[in-house]
Amino acid sequence: MMLRLGDVAPNFKVKTSSGEVDFYEYLGDSWGVLFSHPADYTPVCTTELGRTAQLKPEFDKRNVKVMALSVDSVESHQGWIKDINETQNCVVNFPIIADESKEVAEAYGMMHPNASATFTVRSLFIIAPDKTVKLIISYPASTGRNFDEIIRVIDSLQLTAYHSVATPADWKDGEDVVVSPAIKTEDIAAKFPKGFTEIKPYLRMTPQPNK
């Protein structure tokens, strides 16, 4: 079955480049990013894992733990990590799952047979502290992910999780947000003391509440 938004992310216990890991225990009360790679020693994946390592301070700031997946072995991962560190000027600082059985890939719907019968596509899942899936993005094997967008989406998800707002098109951290339609206009002032602008009765904007 394909995972959908709002589903509980399956737990798993696996071998990784950092030893054996229970996914739920690894996440704890943090948000999580789980993302797959078609295979070790592939060029686009090498740049992606390097970029992820470089962004660790940004993930830490947002209470996000990262875990990658490839269908190759732990030994293969260890050799690949040396190449990633060397070529991407980083230190890989998160586990890479050795999903040789493809058990995790199947549970998360990372295998797309019409794209490849043997390799995972570039799937990415953002998982909330309650272990529900909040975002799913799948890229073809040839297209590297936009990590600025991933950070932006995490900011949006966390903002909407803790405040009664949504984020408009092309929103970036620090910009105005949309007041939830569930909040009556007469109640906005009490909940959002920074004020609001009513563009239409259903479209009310307010400054980002956590800034």
Integer angstrom CA distances of residue 44 from 75, 118, 122, 169: 20, 18, 10, 28
- State the angle between helix axes of 43-54 and 147-162 in degrees (0 to 180), rounded to the nearest 10: 50
Most confident range, picked from 60-69, 106-115, 117-126: 60-69
Q: Is the pLDDT of residue 112 over 80?
A: no
Between 142 and 128, name the one with better pLDDT.
Answer: 128
Rounded to an integer, what distance in angstroms lies between the CA atom of residue 38 and that of residue 6?
26
Supply the DSSP string of 161-186, one letter for each residue.
Answer: HHSSEE--TT--TTS-EEEPTTS-HH
Indicate the range of 47-51, 95-99, 141-145 predicted with least confidence.
Answer: 141-145
Specify the pTM: 0.91
Q: Where are the alpha helices (DSSP H) in the chain?
A: 23-27, 43-54, 56-61, 74-88, 103-107, 147-162, 185-191
pLDDT at 201 over 80: yes
Does pLDDT of 56 surpass 90?
yes
Stretch among 13-17, 92-96, 115-119, 144-148 having the lowest mean pLDDT: 115-119
Mean pLDDT value across the chain: 92
pLDDT > 90 fraction of the chain, expressed in percent and rounded: 81
Q: What are residue 118's phi and psi, to 5 degrees?
A: -120, -20
Residue 106 to residue 197: CA distance in whole angstroms: 46
Return the active site residues: 45
